[in-house]
Amino acid sequence: MEINQIRENSLQAAQSIGILINKTLPLIDASVQLRPCGEIFERLMCLHVVAACAYGFNRKKAQEWLVQEDIAALTTLEKVFIYDGIGNIEQFKVQIEAMWALFWALGLISHLDFSESCNANFVSLLPNLKILQSASQIKTIVKCRSLYEIIGACDLAYCLHWGIQESKITGKILPNSIHPIVIVERRKALEWLISNDNWDNVSLDT
C-alpha cells in the first residue's frame, strides 16, 4: 500500500476544498487492519438507535428493538443513555455524521464528501425503529470498502481536522463548505475502523 500516495491525494483534496494543511503530518501506519464488516454494521446500528433516542424516540421501544436484533455492542455511555436516560444528548445527536461515514464504509453510499453534511433523508435509509423494522434486509447488501479506501478517507479527515485546529490558532477563516463537527465526527468513525480503540475512547490527536 502506497501511504505516500494516499497523503498526496489528501493534500490535493484538501486544497480543492480550500484548506492548506501541513505536509509533514505523520502518516497512517500501513500495517493497520480493518475491523470485521459485521462489527462495523453493528456499530452503525448502535449509533442509529442511540441517535434516535437523542432526538426523542421512546427508550423502551429502543430497548425492545435492541433485544429483537440481538445487538449487544452498546458502549458504557450508550447503555446508560438508553436504559437510564443519562448522557450528553447533543453528543449523541451529532454522531449522525459518524454514522454517515460508517454507511459509506459499508458500501451503502457511493461517495463521502467532507464538504457536505449527510443526506437529509439519511434516516429513511436505515431501519424504521417506529415499526421495529429489522436490520436484516439492509445487512444483506452491505459490502465493506477496501482498507486502502478507508485509510484514504481517514487520512483526509485527519488532515482536514488539523487544518480546522490550525485555523482556531491562527484566526484564519475556514471555507463556508467546511463544518468542523462533520469533519471531527467522520474522522472518529474512520479512525475507529482501523484501530483497537473503544468507540468512547477513539484518539483524535492532531
Residue 193 has what pLDDT? Answer: 98
Residue 172 has what pLDDT? Answer: 84
Residue 1 has what pLDDT? Answer: 61
Kindly provide the residue ranges of all beta strands, DSSP E only, lying in the chain, ordered along the sequence: none
Q: Comparing 19 with 41, which gets the higher pLDDT?
A: 41
Q: Tell me which H or E stretch contains 102.
A: helix 96-105
pLDDT band at 175 (very low <50, low <70, confident <90, very high): confident
Compute the distance between CA of residue 103 and CA of residue 186 in angstroms, rounded to an integer.
Answer: 11
C-alpha distances (whole Å) from 89 to each of 47, 53, 85, 170, 201 are 12, 9, 9, 31, 18
Residue 71 has what pLDDT? Answer: 96
Compute the distance between CA of residue 52 and CA of residue 59 in angstroms, rounded to an integer.
Answer: 9
Residue with cell 484548506: 19
Residue 127 has what pLDDT? Answer: 98
Q: Find the mean pLDDT for residues 168-192.
A: 92
Q: Where are the domains of the chain?
A: 3-196
| Model confidence pLDDT, tens digit, residues 29-85 | 989 999 999 999 999 999 999 999 999 999 999 999 999 999 999 999 999 999 999
The answer to whether residues 101 and 185 touch, using CB atoms and an 8 Å cutoff, is yes
Q: Is 90 helix (H, G, I), strand (E, B) or coil?
A: helix
Compute the distance between CA of residue 66 and CA of residue 86 in angstroms, rounded to an integer.
Answer: 18
Residue 174 has what pLDDT? Answer: 85
- Other residues' Cβ atoms within 10 Å of the Cβ of residue 18: 14
| Model confidence pLDDT, tens digit, residues 90-138 | 999 999 999 999 999 999 999 999 999 999 999 999 999 999 999 999 9
Total H helices, total E strands in the chain: 9, 0
